Structure 1
Amino acid sequence: MSENTLIIGILKTLNENQHALAAAVEEISNRLDQEASSIMAMNINGALDIINGNTTYIGDALETLEKLKN
């Protein structure tokens, strides 16, 4: 396995983990919002906004790396 293939695989796995963590945190945020912990929910949603914004950049970078691999 080439070094580039390994790096791309690791980054894809990290990206999948990021999506899973974001989904889990969003569920927690929704629950807190329902239980009148709206300040905490707002803080969590702010962090989720950062994660979601970075997801686009990571996806674009992975796509570029895939093209460079070939």
Structure 2
Amino acid sequence: MSNADLFSSLLFKINQNQLALEAAIMKLTLWVEQRGSAEVAGNVRGALDTICRNEEFINPTLAVLMSPEK
């Protein structure tokens, strides 16, 4: 496997980890919110919004990196 292949695979796995963490944090946010800590939940949602905005760049970039070169 070439370094370029390893690099794109590594980025893909890091992105998968990020998405899994995002889902777990959202579950915790909902749990906190249900227990009356709306301010804390709002702060966490703000951080999660940053992750979502960055995904709009990360996902297509990963697709380009992982596509076979022509």
- The SS at the match of 2:48 is helix
- Whichever residue aligns with residue 53 of structure 1, its letter is R
Which residue does 1:5 correspond to in 2? 5
Q: Which runs of 5+ in 1 are unaligned?
A: none
> Which structure is higher in helix share?
1
- Fraction of identical pairs, as percent: 35
**Runs of 4+ with >2 A deviation:** none
> TM-score, normalised to structure 2's length?
0.92
- The SS at the match of 2:52 is helix
CA RMSD for the aligned pairs? 0.9
Deviations 1:15-70 (A, max 9, x none): 00000000000001001111010000000000000111111211111111123x42
C-alpha distance in structure 1 between counterparts of 2:24 and 2:64, whole Å: 28
Higher mean C-alpha deviation, range 4-13 or range 57-66: 57-66
